[in-house]
């Protein structure tokens, strides 16, 4: 009896832990995601970023458990709705059959004189007008879209990865892709077609430098030029720094 009591107690404790874990798992997932972003962008710390990643995985696991239980409830509600719809259709069928029976009785009881009346309607005279031929518009074939090679797609994808990780100038991103081994034509395609705001990148790079150390405006301007930003982009960053 004591062994059975221990098993029952352990099962109850396990059920409570699983329920609490499924409730707080979305919070763990959100905190883990924020930790990955913070310790990657704002305060790079590989150790803390790994801890945040582990927390994110745990949160995802609990979130999937929560979704599974929600899916079971949704399926039950769907079955109830289907049953209600079936009963409604049966009621509508019964009403329709009753109405049909009443209609047949009314037709039999109608006087025969009404059925013997013949109404002759004059057919309208239709004058056919000559058809007007409409000239058909010329069919324009769509311009074929040139296929992009795998090297070009990979270079563009790598450029997006770098911009998601850090702020790059156009020249700096070009040099980095060349360093990765991409050919010049694929590299040029990537920097020309990547969707980004170079002015905003310059401003973010200036803010990152000021978070790391104190710079004068001229020193920060020269550092941005060294990073590959144009004079206009560097000046935009200096002019829009937070006070």
pLDDT digits (tens, 9 = 90+) for 170-211: 999 999 999 999 999 999 999 999 999 999 999 999 999 999
Q: How many domains does the chain have?
A: 2
Q: Which domain holds residue 213?
A: 150-240
Assigned domain for 85 exists: no
Assigned domain for 41 exists: yes
Assigned domain for 130 exists: no
Assigned domain for 116 exists: no
Distance CA 196, CA 199 (A): 9
Question: pTM above 0.85?
Answer: no
Assigned domain for 103 exists: no
Distance CA 238, CA 163 (A): 21
Assigned domain for 136 exists: no
40, 63, 86 - which closes a domain: 63
**What mean pLDDT do residues 47-63 have?**
76
Work out the mean pLDDT of the chain and round it to a whole number. Answer: 74
63, 78, 93 - which closes a domain: 63
Select from 25, 53, 58 the least CA-distant residue to 40.
53
Asked whether 33 and 53 are in contact (CB, 8 A), the reply is no
Token pair for residue 121?
A: 């309607």
Distance CA 151, CA 186 (A): 6
Token pair for residue 186?
A: 């694929």
Distance CA 175, CA 185 (A): 13
Assigned domain for 33 exists: yes
Kindly report the backbone phi and psi dihedral angles of residue 135, in degrees, each rounded to the nearest multiple of 5, phi listed first.
-65, 135
């Amino acid at each position: 009896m004591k062994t059975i009591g221990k098993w029952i107690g352990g099962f109850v404790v396990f059920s409570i832990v699983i329920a609490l874990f499924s409730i707080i798992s979305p919070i763990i997932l959100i905190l883990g995601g924020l930790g990955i972003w913070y310790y990657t962008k704002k305060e790079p710390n590989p150790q803390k970023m790994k801890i945040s990643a582990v927390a994110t995985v745990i949160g995802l696991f609990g979130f999937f458990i929560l979704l599974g239980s929600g899916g079971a409830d949704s399926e039950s509600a769907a079955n109830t709705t289907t049953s209600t719809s079936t009963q409604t259709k049966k009621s509508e069928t019964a009403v329709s059959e009753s109405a049909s029976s009443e209609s047949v009785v009314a037709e039999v009881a109608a006087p025969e004189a009404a059925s013997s009346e013949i109404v002759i309607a004059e057919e309208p005279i239709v004058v056919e007008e000559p058809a007007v031929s409409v000239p058909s518009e010329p069919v324009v074939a769509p311009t074929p879209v040139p296929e992009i090679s795998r090297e070009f797609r990979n270079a563009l994808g790598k450029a997006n990865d770098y911009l998601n990780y850090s702020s790059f100038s156009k020249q700096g991103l070009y040099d980095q892709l060349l360093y990765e081994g991409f050919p010049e034509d694929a590299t040029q395609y990537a920097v020309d077609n990547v969707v980004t705001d170079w002015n905003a990148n310059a401003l973010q790079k200036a803010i990152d430098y000021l978070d790391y150390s104190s710079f004068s405006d001229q020193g920060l301007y020269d550092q941005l030029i060294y990073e590959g930003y144009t004079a206009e982009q560097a000046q935009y960053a200096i002019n829009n720094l937070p006070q």
